Chain A
Amino acid sequence: MPLLGSFCLTFALALAAYSFVVGIIAAVRKDAVGFRLAETARRAGMASFIAILFSAGALVYAAMTNDFSVAYVKEHSNRALPAAYKFAALWSGQEGSVLFWCLLLSAYGFVLRLRHKVDQRLTAMASVILAGIQVFFLILVNFEARPFGILPAAAADGNGLNPLLQYPEMVIHPPLLYLGYVGLAVPFAFGLAALIMRYPGEMWIQITRRWTMVAWLFLSIGVALGGHWAYNVLGWGGYWGWDPVENASLLPWLSTTAFLHSVMMQEKRGMMKVWNAWLVFLGFMLSILGTMLTRSGMVNSVHAFAQSNIGRWFAGDYGWTGTPWHSLPYAYPGFLEVIFGVCLWFYIKNKDHLKSENKLESLVSRESSFLFNNLVLLGACFAVLCGTLFPILSEWVRGYKITVGAPFFNTIMVPIGLFLVFLTAVGPLLAWRSTSFGSVWRAFAIPALISLAVEVILIVVWTRNGIKFWRDISQIYALLAFCLSTLVITTIASEFIRGGRVLKKKLNTNLVFAMYHLTRRNMRRYGGYVVHFGIVVLIIGVAGLAFNQEQEQEMAVGDKLQIGHYTLVGQEYTQDDNANYGSDAALLDVYKNGKFITRLNPERRVYKANGGQPNTIPAKWSTLREDLYVIYAGLNPDTGHPIIKAFVNPLVNWVWIGVLIVAFGTGMALVPNTAQISVKVPQAVTVAAAIEKQSMQPAGVGK
């Protein structure tokens, strides 16, 4: 089976290379022969998916059948490992994860090539670009990170899967995150193809937007599941630690979010074409950068794979060769430099194709709000990139790696995030082209008053409860976050109500039904508002971090630990042992304000196959208001008593609910509209004027 897997990988490389080279020849020829060649290139690209699927299947089969003659299986699995985690071993190591990247890339390519009739010429060129990316990753998996390396002698048992990965979510988190990362290759391919071909019109934007939304959705869920996993497995009481690998997933998310906003400028007003093209390129380059950071060992992270030579394939290799007296510089560009070079080359060659069709008429307009939104999102992206790469820069310059952690990112990112929330509130109230301050104020006054009222109520309630928020910057930020979130929610609600009222009169129905119809008529716009709502729900959850409490105590049977309203009483301490791990666990009765509510069972496991690596399994009592999060931290070696650590984390569930709403809103925006309103364009006017005329609307009516 490993031989078959290895052969399939080589065959897939040959197919992808054929699809790439012949696809280019076909694009150059542009005749009947070229057309037939393009068809063979398309089919070769599709066949490469089948070959990689067989190869991945062979690796999974080797893991399932405990074939420890395969070095990768020996490193990442063992006999006692449950079947689901044996399957997850496919992406839990360096080589397998690169193979998984290839598999998902070829799967996206398969769908793209299957749907080639959407636009045959553009899809053919996009398919060539995807084939080029496939060739790179298949070279990597065939020559550098080989998953089918055979050991001289088969081992009796494997080293086992990293205990941190032995968690149900880990079976779905990496695939979703990878689907997001890899999915950005498709908009990149279409964007570059349109630039190379000087493709007329906004067809590439129409096609790309849906692919980008799908990739963005996967990326959002993947990042959130990573946070959920960290919260439930890492046992430090939080879900986001600004770890370099977490940051690497945030970078393409931020740039893609910027693209999903600015793309509307191009669709509606023919503006920001250069910006959009580069945002699509940037999103893909950042996903490659993230892939490199996770796999090269360039940054220290709990999520990163081991140190390896794979980084130079991505970032290139530069230096001096020879003796100090007779040295010569050498430079081998990596994949990232090649991509950047190709994008830059075609941009310089065809930049006149990306000229804006319209001009900005007012600073108080939807256009300028998108510009600021993009500025802030890309500013946030740049800040995260700086903080993530600064340790590498400091190593180059100073010879040592400094650590850049959560305090740095919180200082920089929280104000940026709050400003972004403010823009989310104001943006939808601005009309295209121009808005008067008076009409903005009319639309903004009620939401602003409601959010101010919420702020005053919060200040009064907190002060009465003895919370001195003015002495803690994180609590001041939390107050601002609650206030701005209220502002966003009220503006979204007012948009729905305003639109619903218009339709209510037209359809002669009630407001709820009218709002439903309103949404069904423009799923993209109102789906977008639902996404915004999900984001502010998430932000409310994050703001809860400012009020976290924690308490650590040694607890014998019968001892009590008091935290917030909760009292934990030690009932029993047990030990267990199975083939995979040994564990110590505590049984704790939980009382809230003196009333019994539940029994928690935090656990500490020591996995046998990983050199006795310990792992905490927290126990939670979770409500919408707060989580009681309890960890069995271990035994005190002096007294032999267990050490219990408890956290009260307010509003954590709001984060997960927010993500679900975001996913739902994105799904809504992907659904086609039911009924459409006819738009009459007078014949004897300019394109721009026709579009602008349709766009003219009073402030508050929105997009």
Chain B
Amino acid sequence: MKRLLRILLLPCALVLLMGADNQEARFQNLGGKIMCTCSCDQMLLKCNHVGCPNSDRMRKELHAAVQNISSDDEVLNWFRKNWGVTAVVEPSRHGFELLAWILPVAGLGLGLLLVIFIVRSWKLRTAPVAQADAVLDPHLESLRARAQRETEI
């Protein structure tokens, strides 16, 4: 019976330990997204400003928020509401600030489209063909040969 109880308790203990670990990881993760508001320009968990009027209080509030609020977004919103929008260094994923997340992805997407367009236009283009007896520009040739030498074995 004792053995069975131990076997049953072990996964529970592991889950609890993982939970504790998760809470700490959440605290660290969220602390890395919040800035100390004492104008020291440091992240909350990096603020080494002794006698800082805000960081201790903010850290305690973050600990409490991590315990009581399950969603990370809500924790960050709580800090935005109580400490100002500049306290959180990650743009929100709602409203106007969502644009900050969309723009880089959209930029890359547009760039990819541009590359596809360039590749397509290159593939469709016919290479300029010179006459078989055409005289090559010696200056241009020497430059090409130099480029060739400098980029080949």
Contacts and interface: CB of A to CB of B under 8 A. Distances in A.
A206 B107 CA distance: 31
Given A356-B122, A360-B119, A522-B153, A405 B107 contact: no
A636 interface: yes
B148 A679 contact: yes
B70 to A, nearest CB: 17
B143 A201 contact: yes
A372 B100 contact: no
B99 to A, nearest CB: 8
A236 B41 CA distance: 11
Interface string B75-101: 000000000011111110000110111
A673 B151 CA distance: 11
A200 B143 CA distance: 11
B147 A378 contact: no
Interface string A315-349: 00000000000000000000000000000000000
A390 B25 CA distance: 28
Contacts of B50: 633-637, 643
Contacts of A358: 122, 127
B86 A402 contact: yes
Q: Chain B: interface secondary structure?
A: helix
Contact of A686 (B130, B137, B145): B130
A363 B119 contact: yes
Interface in B85-140: 85-91, 96-97, 99-101, 103-104, 107-108, 111-112, 114-115, 118-119, 122-130, 132-134, 136-137, 139-140
A408 B143 contact: no
Contacts of B90: 404-405, 407-408, 411
B23 interface: no
A271 B123 CA distance: 12
Contact of B96 (A264, A394, A677, A691): A394
Contact of A402 (B32, B48, B91, B108): B91
A456 interface: no
B93 to A, nearest CB: 11
Interface in A196-241: 200-203, 206, 235-238
B3 interface: no
B65 interface: no
Contact of B133 (A368, A394, A643, A684): A684
A371 B114 CA distance: 10
A645 interface: yes
A692 B86 CA distance: 56
A412 interface: yes
A536 to B, nearest CB: 21
A679 B145 contact: yes
B11 interface: no
Interface string A403-417: 111111001100010
Contacts of B150: 522, 524-525, 673
Contact of B51 (A201, A403, A637, A683): A637
Given A236-B42, A236-B46, A677 B149 contact: yes
A405 B129 CA distance: 53
Interface of A: 200-203, 206, 235-238, 264, 267-268, 271, 300-302, 356-361, 363, 368, 371-372, 375, 378-379, 382-383, 386-387, 390, 393-394, 397-398, 400-408, 411-412, 416, 471-472, 499, 502-503, 518, 521-522, 524-525, 616, 631, 633-637, 643, 645, 673, 676-677, 679, 681, 683-688, 690-691, 694-695, 701-703
16 contacts: A200-B140, A267-B144, A302-B41, A357-B128, A361-B123, A375-B108, A378-B111, A382-B108, A401-B86, A405-B33, A405-B43, A406-B32, A407-B33, A522-B151, A679-B152, A686-B128
